[in-house]
Structures are given as C-alpha cells and as structure tokens.
Structure 1
Amino acid sequence: MSRTHSTSAAPVPSVSSVTDVLPATPAHAPGIVALRDELARWMQARGIDQWREGEFTPAQVEQEIAAGQWWVVEPESGPGEVLGSVRVIWEDVEIWGEQPEPAGYIHGVAVDRSLNGTGTGTRLLRAAEQVIADSGRSISRLDCDDANPVLKRFYTGLGYSPRGTATFHVPGPDFWVTVQRMERPLP
C-alpha cells in the first residue's frame, strides 16, 4: 500500500524516520505510480506541464523494476511504502539522441511533498549518480520541464550544466513537452 500525501493534518515524517535509498521491489510499483500521479497533479495545478497523471501503470513500472531501473525511499515505519523514487536508464535516444560516450540517464526523481526541504531529492539524485558511476559511466544526464526555473536552479546547484532542449511526445496522455537537457561529469 502506498502512502500518498494529502492536505489533511497527517504527521510529517522527519528525515531520521526515512530509510536510505533502496533498490525498488515489485511491491513498490503501485507506490511509485501513486507518488508520480500525485506530483503530476501538484505540478499541473501550478502550470508545470512535464508530468501528467496516468503516464505509467504499475505493470509498466514492475517491468522496469525487474530490469533494475528504480530506487526508492520508504519510511522506516512502513517498509514497502514510497516517499521518493528515481529511475536510471542507460540510453535516452528520444531526448538525447545517439550519444558517443556512455552515460546514465536519470528520470522520475519524485519526492513526497511532506519531505520538501529535507534533502531527500538530493539524496535520490546522488544515489542515482552512484549507480551510474558504479556501472563505469562517467556522465550523468537528466532533463526537466524547460519552463520550470525552480527545478533548473536545483539541478544547476547540484553541478548540472544545461545542454540544450528537446521536445518530445508523451504517448499515454498524448501531449508534447519541451525539456531542458542537463548533464554532470561524475568523479
């Protein structure tokens, strides 16, 4: 069962009550989708059009988990629940085209709004970068909505440099999005 943030007076987890970033299991798939949909609704309400509710299904995410692509943050009090997630893939032709150098591509960095300001997003990103480095790759790439200056500043502050934009079609909910591509060399 996934924990989703609501506007009611639910207790806010502290950083110390959240586990480290862990490889996702098939049991996490519904929670990853629920968190993503919740954040898509939050973004849409603020005019940010990068994610839309219903882009992913638990079955799709289960396949990606089986391929070793997802990591999660869960509360110590509720193993199996999802408070944060990140996905790492090894190519992203749709957004980056064919690239000569091996890189890792970070997608779906999602943090429950109740953890805003706790550093959980940075922990997820750094964990994904470690997965990329451990694979022998020396470049981390990601993208974010080009019209989202807050997120672009966040990534720039973590050492990512802009590398142009790309516009692509999201087939499920059938919309187009323009993203800022960003990359960071890894030590």
Structure 2
Amino acid sequence: MSINPIISQESAIPKTRHPKIEILKSKKVSKTLNARAHTIIRDKNAKRVMVRCKINPLDGQIDINAFSLVDTKNKLRYRLSDVTAYYAFGGPKINRYWKEQPMNKKGKEIEVSYAEYNPLIRDTFLDYNFSDYKICESKFPFSSGQSISNYYGKVESKRKFTADFYFVLEKDLLNELSYALYFGNERLGSVEF
C-alpha cells in the first residue's frame, strides 16, 4: 500500500485576510469645535456625525477609503470627511490627499499642511460598487474659489487601533434609521445618530 500526500490548491494560494472591525458607537458631533476632527463645516444645512470603530488590520495595513456611510432609504453613500486613528498612546499615521492641486487666487500651487496633492496615490473609494447610489462628499473651500474634496491613503499599523470616522450629513436626513457603515461592499452594521 502506498500513501500519496494530497496538497490542496487552497493552501498554495495565499489568502487575503480581512481586517477585524467592530463598531463601538455613533453620535452627532460639533461642526466647529471638535478636538479630533481637523476640519470645520460651515454649511448651515449640514451636521457632522462620528462613528467609532476598533480595527485590527491583520495584514499590517488598511484602506481607509473603503469605509463609507450608506443611507439605504435615500440611496446616498457618504465619503469620509475626516478620520482620526489612535492607540492608547499615539496612533498610526493617516495620509490625506487632495483630488486636485490647491491654487491661490493668482493661480499658483499652494501647499496645505494636513493634506497633499499626489496623483500617483489612487483614490480607491470608487472601487466599491453601489449602483444607483448618489455619492456625497465634503468639499473644502480655498481662497481661490476652488472647492476640493479629499481622500485617504492606506493606514499602516501592526496592532489594533481605534478610529473615529466623521461624515457630513444633511440636517433633514439626520434622524433616518436607515444608516449603515460599510467597509468596501461589506456591511459592518447599522448606526443611529
């Protein structure tokens, strides 16, 4: 009798491990005064909300652009307006990018300390398909008259961290009970504000 070892194809193909993500809480937060949010929202018909998650990246990095808040009733998909990530002490670096190069009134390029323009870093938000959903994103005004939205690079972290995800919603839709947080095309859970 001979024994032939069988090697499955599955073991030969490296698996992509998905991050472990747990929603901790969600709430309405101030549009102007917030110790962790980096931007101020001036629109009178808008309200900022926050969803806090515990994240274990597993593979050492996570694509922050994969997170979106989805209003399933009104078919709206919200892009992050701001994000803060932290450990008990310190936190992983979050790279923020502009979709366009910011300019001053004279048409010259300007640099902004909390974000950069780098066309080589791909915006992965649109990689996740939500057909028939309108994309809602915050645009930040510049003195030149430009209004530019932003996106995020991958966060590198070899350990668990907490992330506060900020979204800007219309005031009229704030009390809807149809919000869910998504990571890519995967629904993480319902959230209320």
Task: Give the TM-score taking structure 1 as reference length.
Answer: 0.31
Structure with greater proportional strand content: 2
- In our comparison, the structure showing a higher alpha carbon Rg is 2
Using CA pairs under 8 Å that are at least 6 residues apart, name the structure with larger relative contact order, 1 or 2: 2
Q: Which has the higher helix share?
A: 1
